[in-house]
A and B are shown apart, each in its own frame.
Chain A
Amino acid sequence: MADKSDEITKEVFDHLVDLAEFELGGDEKNYLRKELNSQLTAIRQLAAVHLDEDLPPASHGVPYDDERKPELREDRWEPFPESRKIIEQSPETEKGYISVSDIPHTELK
Chain B
Amino acid sequence: MNLCDLSAFEVRELLKKRGASAVEVLDSCLARIRRVDGRPGQLESGELTAEDGQKVHAFITLSEKTARAQAEAVDTQLAAGMEPGLLAGIPFTVKDIFCMEGTPSTAGSRILANFISPYTATPAARMLAQGGVSLGKVNLDEFTFGSSSESSAFKPTPRNPWDTGRVPGGSSGGSAASVAAGEAFLSLGTDTAGSVRQPAAFCGVVGLKPTYGRVSRYGLIAFGSSLDCPGPAARTARDAAMMLQAVAGPDPMDATAAAVPVPDYLAELEKDIRGMRIGLSPDYFRITIPDPVGGYQEMPVPAEVERVVMDAVEVYRSLGAEIIEYVPMPNTRHGIPVYFVISRVEAASNLHRYDGVKYGHRTDELARDLKEMYRKSRGEGFGVQPKLRILMGMYVSAAQYSEQYYRRALRVRTLIRRDFDAAFDPDGRYKLDALLTPTTPSTAFPVENVYGDSVLMQYSDQLTVPANHAGTPGISFPAGFGADGLPLGAQLLGPDFSEHILLRLAHAYETATADADWRQRRPAVIQEAANG
Contacts and interface: CB of A to CB of B under 8 A. Distances in A.
Q: Do A and B bind each other?
A: yes
B375 interface: yes
B415 A49 contact: yes
B29 interface: no
A67 B261 CA distance: 11
Contacts of B394: 16, 19-20
Given A42-B290, A62-B471, A92 B362 contact: yes
Contacts of A103: 369-370
Interface string A73-103: 1000000101001100111100000101111
Given A36-B395, A67-B259, A100 B357 contact: yes
Given A22-B375, A56-B411, A100-B373, A39 B226 contact: no
B115 interface: yes
A61 B472 contact: yes
B257 A86 contact: no
B496 interface: yes
Interface string B370-381: 111111101110
Nearest to A62: B471
Nearest to B367: A101
A21 B378 contact: yes
Contact of B391 (A36, A64, A98, A104): A36
A4 interface: no
Q: Classify chain B's interface size.
A: 35 or more
B258 A36 contact: no
A43 B342 CA distance: 11
Contacts of A46: 334, 337-338, 341, 405, 408-409, 412
A23 B376 contact: yes
A71 B282 CA distance: 41
Interface residues of A, number: 57
Interface in A1-44: 8, 12-13, 16-17, 19-24, 28, 31-32, 35-36, 38-39, 41-44
B348 to A, nearest CB: 8
B358 A42 contact: no
A69 B259 CA distance: 6
Interface stretch (B141-149, B318-326, B382-390): B382-390
A42 B396 CA distance: 13
A86 B294 CA distance: 47
Contacts of A101: 367-370, 372-373
Interface string B104-148: 000000000001101000000000000000000000000000000
A46 B212 CA distance: 24
B337 A45 contact: yes
Contacts of A22: 375, 378-379, 382, 387, 390
Contact of B405 (A32, A43, A90): A43
B259 A68 contact: yes
Nearest to A87: B358
Given A28-B384, A32-B388, A39-B454, A90 B359 contact: yes
Nearest to A3: B294
A108 interface: no
A42 B368 contact: no
B413 A32 contact: no
Interface of B: 115-116, 118, 211-213, 226, 250-252, 255-260, 290, 294, 296, 331, 334, 336-338, 340-341, 348, 355-362, 367-376, 378-380, 382, 384, 387-388, 390-392, 394-396, 404-405, 407-415, 417, 454-455, 458, 468-472, 496
Given A20-B391, A60-B471, 4 more contacts: A22-B390, A57-B411, A60-B212, A70-B257
Interface of A: 8, 12-13, 16-17, 19-24, 28, 31-32, 35-36, 38-39, 41-47, 49, 51, 55-62, 64, 67-73, 80, 82, 85-86, 89-92, 98, 100-104
Closest 3 CB pairs of A and B: A61-B471, A57-B410, A23-B379
14 contacts: A21-B375, A23-B376, A35-B388, A39-B388, A42-B458, A43-B340, A51-B408, A55-B415, A57-B411, A61-B472, A68-B258, A68-B260, A89-B115, A91-B360
